[in-house]
Amino acid sequence: MDKQLVEKAQKLINANYISTTLSTVSKDYDVNIAVITVLEMLDENTIICARFGADKTYANLKETGKGVFLVLLTPDGKTKDGIRVYVELVADQQEGEYFDRIQARLDKTVYGNFHLKNCLVFRVVDILPVSMLKKDTPTS
């Protein structure tokens, strides 16, 4: 994977922006999107995520294992920046090292009083920018 995109993804995912979402699809193509604000990209291959709600998203993940994290930023209200990280669910933990790690992260947030149901562990499949459009260059 492109090193710059990996670094950008890690920076944006680990910032835990309120604009971070996880989109999923069921086997019957029912789509869902949830705001996910407690997660960590450990390396270019692994993301861990706290689940204390998001029941439809969780059900879709259990069916298909596929999802896309989106971090969307609009720094000046006119332009967009961010990252799309395509993932596959590889583990659903209720204890262990990753669970303890994401619990500690959750405890430091405004959601710290929520019960952590699961630590979802994802394998990163692909990373893309928010937009694939190239800026037009003026011609003379």
Domain ranges of the chain: 3-129
CA distance 120 to 41: 12
CB 18 within 8 A of CB 25: no
Give the list of residues 6+ apart from residue 99 with CB closer than 8 angstroms, or none.
Answer: 93, 116, 118, 119
CB 116 within 8 A of CB 49: no
CA distance 131 to 93: 33
| pLDDT tens, residue order, the chain (140 aa) | 889 999 999 999 999 888 899 999 999 999 999 998 899 999 999 999 998 777 899 999 999 999 999 999 888 888 888 999 999 999 999 999 999 999 999 888 887 788 899 999 999 999 999 876 565 555 55
Distance between alpha carbon 100 and the CA centroid of its chain, in Å? 19
pLDDT for the residue numbered 139: 54
pLDDT for the residue numbered 131: 76
Q: Which CATH architecture has domain 3-129?
A: Roll (2.30)
Both structure tokens of 117: 């149901």
pLDDT for the residue numbered 91: 96
CA distance 104 to 120: 15
Token pair 């922006």 in the structure block, residue? 17
pLDDT for the residue numbered 132: 63
- The candidate with the shortest Cα–Cα distance to 66, out of 16, 94, 102, 26, is 26
